[in-house]
Amino acid sequence: MVTMLTASGLTLRLGRRTILDDAGFTARRGAVTGLIGPNGVGKSTLLRAVAGLLPHGGDVRFDGQPLPADAGSRARLLGYLPQGHPVHWPLTVRRTVALGRLPHLGPFGRAGRLDEDAVERVMAATGVAGLAARAVPTLSGGERARVMLARVLAADAPVLLADEPTAALDPGHQLRIMALLRAEAVERQRAVVVVLHDLSLAARCCDDLVLLMPDRRVIAGDAATVLTPSLLGEAYGVAFAVTRAADVPVVLPQCPTPIPDIIQSGD
Ligand SMILES: Nc1ncnc2c1ncn2[C@@H]1O[C@H](COP(=O)(O)OP(=O)(O)OP(=O)(O)O)[C@@H](O)[C@H]1O
């Protein structure tokens, strides 16, 4: 399988803090790569750096070539779904998803048959076709999350970077969206990178995992390599049980003892 996206030696400072120091990962074409790690470790920053949204040191390559500097070419190559879904514009779902086709439109911005087909395809795939005429600000958090995913999928970019795409979703939609991302990876030979906090979901739905550690190590490999009680304990500061139930992997954080005041007080 061809390696598709390679980020290496990434360094980045925000304010006076070094957020990334020699960070990197590889995302394969046809695979879903899960980016995991504790709060504040730099997952979103790494994704944004790779997307070209933050100035950084180091190297990001696509099939061995540096990413294009031109924003339009880059948007056709790499789709980025940010964390959260702040949407204030009163556009319908269909028009919002159609915005994802902008990198493909000609100088007059006229959408053609291919663009319309792409929009219909991704609305159906993300289960938002029935919401097509609704104004996006009227949607629930989970509905909006699926619309924003549809928008980024509409661009049909070979690399997809999604920051917590399942965060607002119920368990059924979480699994459906992960299945969709896998189908997008396999059937359209995309490299899909997702930030996830649900480690059981990551174990179940990702082909490769990249764990960012608080001491800036990056541990990459399959679930058996990365999701060990020892590494997870180091990363998250609580003990973990890694087991299986109903034939799927389960990664269970153990309640710390004694329970910290912050939890006992119920705040
Ligand atoms: N503009 C900024 N100036 C200074 N520090 C920042 C800035 N933006 C982010 N940070 C810090 O960078 C670190 C990494 O943030 P980032 O959002 O990448 O973490 P994360 O791993 O995605 O966290 P989470 O799981 O909580 O979403 C955090 O400590 C954050 O406070």
Distance CA 42, CA 33 (A): 16
Residue pointed to by tokens 């990551």: 202
Indicate if ligand 1 lies below 6 Å from the C-beta of 198.
no
The pLDDT value given to residue 262: 59
53 lines ligand 1 (CB under 6 A): no
Q: What percent of the chain has pLDDT over 70?
A: 94
Angle of the 141-154 helix axis to the 113-125 helix axis, nearest 10: 140
- Among protein residues, the one whose CA lies closest to atom 6 of ligand 1: 14
- The answer to whether 12 and 19 are in contact (CB under 8 A) is yes
- List the residue whose alpha carbon is closest to atom 10 of ligand 1: 14
Tell me if 48 CB under 6 Å of ligand 1.
Answer: no
- B/e letters for 135-146, b = 16+ CB within 10 Å, e = fewer, are ebeebeebbbbb
What was the pLDDT predicted at 39? 96
The helix or strand, by DSSP H or E, that contains position 263, with its residue range, turns out to be helix 261-264
> Ligand 1 center to residue 43 CA distance, Å?
8
- At residue 110, φ and ψ (nearest 5 deg) are -85, 130
Strand 65-66 to 191-195 pairing: unpaired
Check if 15 has its Cβ closer than 6 Å to any atom of ligand 1. yes
Among the residue ranges 25-29, 108-112, 134-138, 237-241, the one predicted with the least confidence is 108-112
pLDDT band per the 50, 70, 90 thresholds, residue 258 = low
Query: Ligand 1 pocket test: which of 11, 12, 45 has the largest number of ligand atoms within 8 Å of its C-beta?
Result: 45
**Burial of residue 2 (number of CB atoms within 10 Å: 0-12, 13-18, 19+):** exposed
Distance of CA 236 to the CA centre of its chain: 20
Residues 143-181 have pLDDT tens digits of: 999 999 999 999 999 999 999 999 988 999 999 999 999
- pLDDT by residue (tens digit) across 85-100? 677 778 999 999 999 9
Please tell me the distance between residue 45's alpha carbon and the centre of ligand 1 in angstroms: 6
The rounded mean pLDDT for the chain is: 91
Query: For position 28, what pLDDT does the model report?
Result: 96
* ipTM of the prediction: 0.97
Residue 22 C-alpha to ligand 1 middle, in angstroms?
16
Distance CA 161, CA 83 (A): 11
**Cα 105 to ligand 1 centroid, rounded to whole Å:** 34
| Cβ atoms 161, 81 nearer than 8 A | yes
pLDDT tens for each residue of 97-132: 999 998 888 777 787 888 899 999 999 999 999 999
CA angle 109, 111, 112 (to 5 degrees): 135
Ligand 1 atom 16: the closest Cα is on which residue? 42
CB of 44 closer than 6 A to ligand 1?
Answer: yes
Contacts of residue 132, Cβ cutoff 8 Å, sequence gap at least 6 = 92, 93, 94, 123
Q: Phi and psi at residue 194, in whole multiples of 5°? A: -125, 135
- Domains belonging to the chain, first-starting first, are 3-238 (3.40.50.300)
pLDDT of residue 141: 86
Does residue 204 carry a pLDDT above 80? yes
Q: What is the mean pLDDT of residues 130-141?
A: 94
The pLDDT confidence band at residue 263, using thresholds 50, 70 and 90, is low
The pLDDT score that the predictor gives to residue 205 is 96
State pLDDT tens for residues 25-84: 999 999 999 999 999 999 999 999 999 999 999 999 999 999 998 888 999 999 999 987
Which tens digits make up the pLDDT trace of 192-201? 999 999 999 9
43 CB within 6 A, ligand 1: yes
Identify the pLDDT of residue 72: 87
Of all protein residues, the one whose alpha carbon is nearest to atom 13 of ligand 1 is 40
Determine the longest span between alpha carbons in the chain, in angstroms.
Answer: 64
Cα separation, 208 vs 171, whole angstroms? 21
pLDDT at 226 over 60: yes
Which residue is it, tokens 């999350």?
145
Categorize the per-residue pLDDT at 266 as very low, low, confident or very high, splitting at 50, 70 and 90.
Answer: very low
Tell me: pLDDT of 220 over 60: yes
Residue for token digits 């909006």? 144
Average pLDDT value for residue range 205-232: 97
